[in-house]
Copies of this chain bind each other. A is one copy, B any other.
Amino acid sequence: MSKEITARSEDYSQWYNDLVLKGGLADYSAVRGCMVIKPHGFALWENMRDVLDKMFKDTGHQNAYFPLFIPKSFLSKEAAHVEGFAKECAVVTHYRLKNDPNGGGVVVDPEAKLEEELIVRPTSETIIWNTYKDWIQSYRDLPLLINQWANVVRWEMRTRLFLRTAEFLWQEGHTAHATAEEAIAETRQMLDIYAEFAEKYMALPVIKGVKSASERFAGAEDTYCIEALMQDGKALQAGTSHFLGQNFAKAFEVKFSNKENKQEYVWATSWGVSTRLVGALVMAHSDDQGLILPPRISPLQVVIVPIFKGDDQKKLIDDKVNEIIKELKAAGIRVKYDDSDNARPGWKFAEYEMKGVPVRIALGARDLENNVAEVARRDEKTKSSLSLDGLSGQIVQLLEDIQQNMYNKALAYRESHITPVNTWEEFEKVLDEKGGFVAAHWDGTPETEAAIKERTKATIRCIPLNNVQEAGTCILSGKPSKERVLFARAY
C-alpha cells in the first residue's frame, strides 16, 4: 500500500480520508456506514476518554450503563425527540434466525417476531428517564449525576469516517435536578469542561455558544455547544450540552417531593461528545505528510530510531537507548524504541510522521560519541541536536512546547477566520472565498435562517456566550437585529 497521501490543496476531503486510513486510525467495514476503529485510532480515543472521564468524576458524576435497546413506544413519548430520531434508526423486529427450508442458508424466523419493535439507541434520554422514575422520589435523591460511555446508532445516509458514521462511540451525561437554575448551571459546567478539554488536551480552540432554535437537540429547551474551525474553513460542532427543562420528566412522569413535601417535575440536562472528536483532531492539525497529534493525548509521544552499521554499533546504541527509555518513562513519557530490522530508518521516519508521533529521536554511533541525539519535532518539522545529559527534562519541555504551539497555530488560524460582514454580498463573498466563521446580523427568525441555509449551505453555528450586544440589520431580511451570530458551512 502506498503511503502517499493527497495534498490538502488538491482535494481536502480525500486528504482527510487518506490520513485516517493510512495513519492507521480507522478502516471501512462491510457494514454500510459503520467503521472499524484501528488500534492507533482506538488508543487515541482511549486517551481522550480517560481525560474526560476523570474530569466528569472530579465534578461528582458516576458512570452507569443502560440498555442498548429502546422500546419503540418510549421514543414516542417526547414529541420533538421522536421527530428528531425516528427517521434514521435501526429497528430490531425479530429475535431468531432459522434454516431456510429452501436451502438458502439462514433466514429470519417469522415466528420470532417481537411484540414491540426495539430501536437501537440513537441517544438514551428515553430509556434513562424511564429508569429515573424508579430512582427519584425525594429531593434527597437529587441531584442525580450520571454518565454513560456507549455506542449509539443513527442511520445517516451520507457517512464519513469518524465525522458521521451510522454507529459511533460516545459518552452521554444525563442529570436530574430539583431546580431549573441548578440544571442550567450543570449544562454550563459541562460545556466549560468540554471547552477546557478541547483547548488543553486537543489543542483545539473552540467558541462556546448557544444554538438557534432550529439547531437545538430534539427535546431540549436550549442547546449549548462548542464550535471548532477546520483547516478548510469549515466549522465542526465538537460537543453539545443540553438544558432539557422538564420535557423528559413530564414525558416519563418523573416527580420528586420537595422540602415542602410537594410533588414537582424534575429538571434535566444531557451532554455528549463522540468519536467525531477524533475527526476534528485530524482535520484541525495535520499536514500533507500525515497526522500531527497533540502530545497530551497522543498514544505515543516519542519514538526512538537507531541508525547503525553492524552489531557492535547496534549494541552500543541499544545500551544507551535503554537508559534513555528508563529516564523518559520515569518522567511519564509514552515512548517506543523501534529497532525492528525489516525497515530502513528513512522508511520508519516517514511511518511515524504519518502516524503523528510528536517527537522522533534518531541516535547513531557518531551521536553517541558526541553525547547528543537528533531530535525532530513533528509539528514544525525542525530538527535539533540535544545533549544526552538531562535529555528527559528537555523532552518534557519540548512536548509542552509542541502542545502549546499546536494550540497557538490553530488559534491564529481561527482568529483570522472570524469575519464580521454587514451586507449579503459580503456574506456570500466571505463564505466562498475565505470560509471560516462569518459574524453577521440575523433577524432571529427560523425562516430567515432556513433561507440563508438554502442559498449558501451556511448555518448558524452558535450565538456566542457573552456576545456583544450591538444593534444592526439582518443581512438577508434587513430587519432589525440586536447582536451578531456566527454563520459557517460546517461538517
Which A residues are within 8 Å of any B CB, using their own CB?
Answer: 27, 29-31, 34-39, 42-43, 46, 62-76, 82, 86-99, 105-106, 108, 117-120, 127, 130-131, 134, 140, 146, 150-151, 153, 155, 167, 169, 342
CB <8 Å contact, A68 and B153: yes
The distance from the CB of A453 to the nearest CB of chain B, in whole angstroms, is 23
If A27-B131, A31-B67 touch, whether A97 touches B86 (CB-CB below 8 Å) is yes
Residues on B with C-beta less than 8 A from A94 are 90-91, 93
Please list the 3 inter-chain residue pairs (A to B) with the smallest Cβ-Cβ separation, ordered nearest first.
A39-B62, A34-B67, A86-B97
Quote the shortest CB–CB distance from A370 to chain B (angstroms): 35
Contact B93 A65 (CB under 8 A): no
Max chain B C-beta neighbours (<10 A), residue from A69, A120, A134, A140 = A69
Q: State the Cβ distance, A157 to closest chain B Cβ, in Å.
A: 9
A167:B69 contact, CB within 8 angstroms: yes
- Residue of B64, B71, B73, B88 touching A37 (CB-CB under 8 A): B64
Question: Distance in Å from the Cβ of A193 to the closest Cβ of chain B?
Answer: 19
Q: How far is the CB of A432 from chain B (nearest CB, A)?
A: 35
Task: Across the interface, name the chain B residue whose C-beta is closest to A152.
Answer: B68
Q: Is the CB of B89 within 8 A of A134?
A: no
A90 partner residues in chain B, CB cutoff 8 A: 69, 92, 94-95, 118
Are the CB atoms of A91 and B62 closer together than 8 Å? Answer: no
With A63-B46, A98-B86 known as contacts, the answer to whether A68 contacts B105 (CB < 8 A) is: no
Q: A130 to chain B: which residues have CB within 8 Å?
A: 30
Q: Please measure, in the bound complex, the distance between the C-alpha atom of A90 and the C-alpha atom of B96, giving whole angstroms.
A: 7
8 Å CB contact of A134 from B27, B71, B95: B27
* Shortest beta-carbon distance from A75 to chain B in Å: 7
Select which of B67, B87, B120, B146 is within 8 A of A68 by beta carbon.
Answer: B120
Contact indicator B91/A92 (Cβ below 8 Å): yes
**Given contacts A71-B30, A86-B106, A91-B93, are A169 and B65 in contact (CB under 8 A)?**
yes
Chain B residues near A99 (CB, 8 Å)?
86
Contact B68 A151 (CB under 8 A): yes
* Residues of B with C-beta under 8 A to A92: 90-93, 120
Q: Which residues of B contact A120 (CB under 8 A)?
A: 68, 92, 120
How far apart sit A74 and B106, CA to CA, in the bound complex (Å)? 11
Using CB atoms, name the residue of chain B closest to A154.
B95
Identify the closest chain B residue to A93 (Cβ): B93
Q: Given contacts A95-B91, A120-B120, is CB(A29)–CB(B67) below 8 Å?
A: yes
Is the pair B67, A38 in contact by a Cβ cutoff of 8 Å? Answer: no
| Chain B minimum-CB-distance residue to A70 | B31
Q: Which residue of B lies closest to A91 (CB)?
A: B94
CB distance from A302 to the nearest CB of B (A): 18
